[in-house]
Chains A and B, each alone.
Chain A
Amino acid sequence: MIVMKKVVVVGAGAGGGLVTSKLRAKTSREEVEITVIDSTGRTDFQPSYPMVSIGLKRPSEIGVSFDNFSKTGIKPVKAKVTSINADERIVKTDTGDIPYDELILSPGAKIENEKLPNSESIGHFWDMEHSLDLRKKLINLKEGKIVIGVTSMIYKCPPVPWEMGMLLDNMYRNLGIRNRIEIKVVHWAPKPMSMFGPVISDPVTKWMEESNIEGNYGFEFSSIDPEKKKIISKKGDEENYDLAILAPPHSVPDFVKNSENLLSQRGWLDANANTFRPKKYDDIYGLGDAIAPTLGLGMAGVFAHFQADTVASLVLNDLDGIYPPFAYNKVGLCASDMGSTGWISYCDFSGKIKDNSVPFPDCGVLGSGPLFKLAHSIYEKYFLGAVYGGWIR
């Protein structure tokens, strides 16, 4: 008699979504029961949130209800994970307990919206709801200064403050009011995208200058004064704004924070770069943004994508004992749509994962120009199609 194995995936984003569809494609419904738990009940192509905030994309174009998983026998559970009982192999959620044989954790980072003041002149695009809210704020702004910044060293999609600067430049040029809008990126990096080295930083610096996007670099965020409309750095420097677009603090999800055995020394979800398991368990895997700081990576869907390829192969190997493990590809690709132009850059993070003191990864630029804008949209459709097998209408 076949004993049905239970695979539980926490998170239906880039990592969780892709690993789920890969597992379903390689296993039968009779032999493996797959459950996906997600608090939003949706898979969004998160790199397109900036486009939602400037009105270029609609939410329905970049997000799919995870109820579609049920079409291939995957059980979607809309719930918030509260804790993991790893000894008894149970995921505890606010709607009930879910047992597992194999557990895959891809919960993403917790976006701490409550740590930003609720103000008409502050917004962000790090989740769907706030991207839609920011859209209204951007449309209402007819003149003044927009500051794009980050409140923590770690945040989702490291290049996005500069990408957003270019998108806003293009948007206000099209509206004919660019001369009345000042755009400034305020960031801890010493130069635009300098965390990726000069191959990436130099052309981006040039684009910022050409687009008249100012910068305040080496600015480590300390606090915000919504009354005086100022953000203040740790050194006490101030930057005033009419509209501040700020990445809220990102932190490890509470259920991971409260499970000592799942935490790495860096305080995030523990995972090894080869096995993707935390040190103490051989039936739990981690991937995506929640493990990125542990591995010394930035938070980006492309890392989750390639980690999903590897994690799916490792879980399949656990299930049948023969499936060949797929080595983790540490190259990251970034396809950016920046309004009037697009570009594709790539970096090999192997050296950085091995030794975090390496200043930046080995990077290159595939090309730039209007044609490269297509890459972002093509990948968006590819991603959603790959997760839901094309049933995305």
Chain B
Amino acid sequence: MSDEDILDRIRELEPTIDAIKKLQESGLMAALETLAEQADLIINYASDMEILGTLSLLFRLMGIADISLGKINQEDLIKDAKEIDWASLFKMLFSILKYIANDAKNIPKPAGKQKLKDALGELRSPETEYLMKLMSGISSQIMSKKD
């Protein structure tokens, strides 16, 4: 490889070197280095039933969300969103918030610390799934009327 070739290769790498330099200056490189140093234990730390259970629920939720969202025509949705009377909608939302604020004191607090896994478990309840399917059904109906 000639000197010119080597210089060409360095020039090709310049944007990458610049990006790495920025990472270094930002402190992110130091954080990555720590991760690399501790990498041998990452799998061990991550193999926790709470973390794995939460991940498992997230993957299932993604599946449900994917089915619901997959039926929506995004272009039509954006077009329809522009036609919404936002002033009326916000007025309605504020009245709902006011109602929630007034009645919040009557809602019992969950016993004990609420874990993320439990919260996700509630999200996965049949009621939530029904709501998502209902939304999906409504969106399908709206789209079919557009055709």
To the question of whether A and B form a pair in one complex, the answer is yes
Residues of A in contact with B (beta carbons under 8 Å apart): 18, 21-22, 25, 305-306, 309, 326, 329, 331-333, 346, 348, 362, 364-367, 382, 386
Cβ of B59: which chain A residues have Cβ within 8 Å of it? 366-367
> Which residues of chain B from 52 to 100 have any CB-CB distance to chain A below 8 Å in the complex?
52-53, 55-56, 59-60
Q: Is the CB of A309 within 8 A of B49?
A: no
Q: Is the CB of B52 within 8 A of A309?
A: no
Given A305-B43, A309-B41, A386-B40, answer yes or no on A364-B48 (Cβ-Cβ < 8 Å).
no
Q: Is the CB of A366 within 8 A of B49?
A: no
* A and B contact pairs by CB, cutoff 8 A, 19 listed: A18-B40, A21-B40, A22-B40, A309-B40, A329-B47, A331-B48, A331-B52, A333-B43, A333-B52, A346-B47, A346-B49, A346-B52, A364-B49, A364-B53, A364-B56, A366-B55, A366-B56, A367-B56, A367-B60
CB closest residue in chain A, given B41: A309
Cβ of A329: which chain B residues have Cβ within 8 Å of it? 44, 47-48
> Which residues of chain B from 28 to 48 have any CB-CB distance to chain A below 8 Å in the complex?
39-41, 43-44, 47-48
Residues of B in contact with A (beta carbons under 8 Å apart): 39-41, 43-44, 47-49, 52-53, 55-56, 59-60
Cβ of A333: which chain B residues have Cβ within 8 Å of it? 43, 47, 52
A345 smallest CB distance to B (angstroms):
9
Q: Is the CB of B49 within 8 A of A331?
A: yes
A333 smallest CB distance to B (angstroms):
6
- 6 closest residue pairs by CB, A with B: A367-B59, A331-B47, A346-B52, A366-B56, A348-B49, A309-B44
CB closest residue in chain B, given A348: B49
CB closest residue in chain B, given A22: B40
CB closest residue in chain B, given A365: B56
Q: Is the CB of B53 within 8 A of A306?
A: no
Cβ of A367: which chain B residues have Cβ within 8 Å of it? 56, 59-60
Complex formed: what's the CA distance from A331 to B45 in Å? 10
B56 smallest CB distance to A (angstroms):
5
Q: Is the interface of B mostly helix, strand, loop or mixed?
A: helix
Cβ of A362: which chain B residues have Cβ within 8 Å of it? 49
Beyond A25-B40, A362-B49, A366-B55, 17 additional contacts (C-beta under 8 Å) are A21-B40, A22-B40, A305-B43, A305-B44, A306-B44, A309-B40, A329-B44, A331-B49, A333-B47, A346-B49, A364-B52, A364-B56, A365-B56, A367-B56, A367-B59, A386-B39, A386-B40
A385 smallest CB distance to B (angstroms):
9
Q: Is the CB of A306 within 8 A of B49?
A: no
Complex formed: what's the CA distance from A309 to B49 in Å? 18
CB closest residue in chain A, given B49: A348
CB closest residue in chain B, given A25: B40
Complex formed: what's the CA distance from A18 to B39 in Å? 13
Cβ of A386: which chain B residues have Cβ within 8 Å of it? 39-40
Complex formed: what's the CA distance from A309 to B55 in Å? 24
Cβ of A346: which chain B residues have Cβ within 8 Å of it? 47, 49, 52
Complex formed: what's the CA distance from A364 to B117 in Å? 13
B143 smallest CB distance to A (angstroms):
27
A303 smallest CB distance to B (angstroms):
11
Complex formed: what's the CA distance from A88 to B59 in Å? 55
Complex formed: what's the CA distance from A367 to B57 in Å? 9
Complex formed: what's the CA distance from A329 to B48 in Å? 8
Complex formed: what's the CA distance from A363 to B43 in Å? 17
Complex formed: what's the CA distance from A22 to B59 in Å? 33
Complex formed: what's the CA distance from A348 to B48 in Å? 9
A386 smallest CB distance to B (angstroms):
6
Complex formed: what's the CA distance from A386 to B44 in Å? 13
Complex formed: what's the CA distance from A348 to B51 in Å? 12
Cβ of B56: which chain A residues have Cβ within 8 Å of it? 364-367
B11 smallest CB distance to A (angstroms):
28
Given A364-B52, A366-B55, answer yes or no on A306-B47 (Cβ-Cβ < 8 Å).
yes
B120 smallest CB distance to A (angstroms):
13
CB closest residue in chain A, given B53: A364
Complex formed: what's the CA distance from A332 to B49 in Å? 10
Cβ of B53: which chain A residues have Cβ within 8 Å of it? 364
Cβ of A18: which chain B residues have Cβ within 8 Å of it? 40
Complex formed: what's the CA distance from A385 to B41 in Å? 14
Cβ of A366: which chain B residues have Cβ within 8 Å of it? 52, 55-56, 59
Cβ of A348: which chain B residues have Cβ within 8 Å of it? 49
Complex formed: what's the CA distance from A331 to B55 in Å? 15
B135 smallest CB distance to A (angstroms):
24
Complex formed: what's the CA distance from A365 to B57 in Å? 9
A257 smallest CB distance to B (angstroms):
31
Cβ of B40: which chain A residues have Cβ within 8 Å of it? 18, 21-22, 25, 309, 386
Complex formed: what's the CA distance from A77 to B39 in Å? 28
Complex formed: what's the CA distance from A367 to B47 in Å? 15
Cβ of B49: which chain A residues have Cβ within 8 Å of it? 331, 346, 348, 362, 364
CB closest residue in chain B, given A368: B59
